[in-house]
Amino acid sequence: MRRKCLIRPVALLFAAIALMVGYGTPVCAAGQSAESEPIEVVVTLPVLKDLAEHVGGPRVRVMSLMSGLESEHSYSPRPSDLVAVRKARVLFEVGLGLEVWVSSLVKNSGNSGLLVVTTSKGIALIRDHESASEAGPVPQDDHRAGNPHVWLDPENAKVMMRHITEALIKVDPAHAVDYRNNQAAYLRQLDQLQTELIERLRNVPDRRIVVHHPAWPYFARRFGLEVVGEIVRQAGAEPSAHHMQELIMAIRKNGVRVIASEPQLNQKIPEVLARETGARVVVLTPLPGGVAGTDTYLDMLRYNVTRLAEALEAAKPN
């Protein structure tokens, strides 16, 4: 009788050791393993990566197809992008015709269960070459009707983050509270920064600028700037000599003192324009990671407003 009592605990001990080294997997361990595995998320732009990581925290693994050094208009997907999309559960895009290559990438991936989320839905759009005051709702199926650079207005980024939050809740409802709490914490940071940046520009009287390409109408609307002209009006195209001459005349006539360049585009053209007019060039980035110190969305906003304010204050009147 004593021998049988000894065998049972020894047998249980060996069974436990076997499970620990892989001879078996207890049900609870399997459940914990599956729960701890992060959700695979793919995004088109680094700004979406930053927002998704803030909402998802350790429960997501996010890959951005683009870095901050590439132009969002001329990007061409790589084989590694196809692999990433094939493994992902969710893909976040801006939409509005910005990422024209996404639909074919998703189709070629063969990932029929992929949830594709367009984060610009519901945002009041500014049509290209119209004033910011004319912005308004656009039909949901009219994906090319408005300027796609919506994230440069922090109010629009809040809408995009809500789309991200709801999508993560859809694929992982068990952690809905975590996702909503993470979103709320980030929105408080964004509100605080927005207030600080508006205050930073409050005493800048002349806010007229020429920009590199039409990425800035939402940014200009939010921070009270006036875009007098654009160097590049169409993605991938170089300005004509006639257009450059028109810009030179407009800068001189209006006394524009600052030209906003972008690291993702040809830097020589803004420099030529500055030499011809005496205006000052400041490098702004529409994407996080475009210049040093802009790895996050909040850092990018702070950098752009601060550098622009400094340039407007330092530039001498023409």
What are the φ and ψ backbone dihedral angles of 254, each rounded to 5 degrees? -90, -5
* pLDDT at residue 24 in the model: 35
Q: Provide the token pair at 84.
A: 């990433």
* Helices and strands in the chain, H and E counts: 11, 8
* pLDDT at residue 87 in the model: 97
Task: Identify which of 155, 141, 45 has the alpha carbon closest to the alpha carbon of residue 93.
Answer: 45
Instruction: State how far the alpha carbon of 235 is from the alpha carbons of 85, 127, 215, 220, 231, in Å.
Output: 26, 15, 10, 19, 11
* pLDDT at residue 304 in the model: 98
* pLDDT at residue 316 in the model: 62
* pLDDT at residue 6 in the model: 40
Taking the C-alpha atoms of residue 24 and residue 41, their distance in angstroms, rounded to an integer, is 31
The CATH class for the domain spanning 203-314 reads alpha beta
Rounded average pLDDT per 10-residue block, the chain, 318 residues: 42 35 33 68 97 98 92 84 97 95 94 97 86 46 74 98 98 98 98 98 94 96 96 83 94 95 91 94 95 96 97 78
Report CA dihedral (180, 185, 187, 192) to the nearest 10 degrees.
Answer: 170
Task: Please give the single-letter amino acid code of residue 49.
Answer: K
Do 43 and 64 meet the contact criterion of CB atoms below 8 Å apart? Answer: yes
Taking the C-alpha atoms of residue 140 and residue 93, their distance in angstroms, rounded to an integer, is 15
* pLDDT at residue 300 in the model: 98
Residue 283, SS3 per DSSP? strand
* pLDDT at residue 130 in the model: 55
Pair type for strands 90-93 and 115-118: parallel
Task: Identify which of 96, 94, 89 has the alpha carbon closest to the alpha carbon of residue 44.
Answer: 94
Cα Dmax for the chain: 106
Q: Please list the residues that pair with 64 across neighbouring strands.
A: 43
The region that residue 163 occupies, defined by phi over 0 for left and psi between -120 and 50 for alpha, beta otherwise, is alpha
* pLDDT at residue 238 in the model: 86
Identical fold for domains 37-197 and 203-314, yes or no, is yes
Per-domain boundaries in the chain:
37-197, 203-314
* pLDDT at residue 171 in the model: 97
DSSP H helical ranges for the chain: 2-20, 27-36, 46-56, 79-87, 102-109, 154-171, 176-200, 217-223, 241-254, 268-277, 297-314
Measured in Å, how far apart are the chain's first and last C-alpha atoms?
A: 104
The CATH class for the domain spanning 37-197 reads alpha beta
Pair type for strands 226-230 and 258-261: unpaired
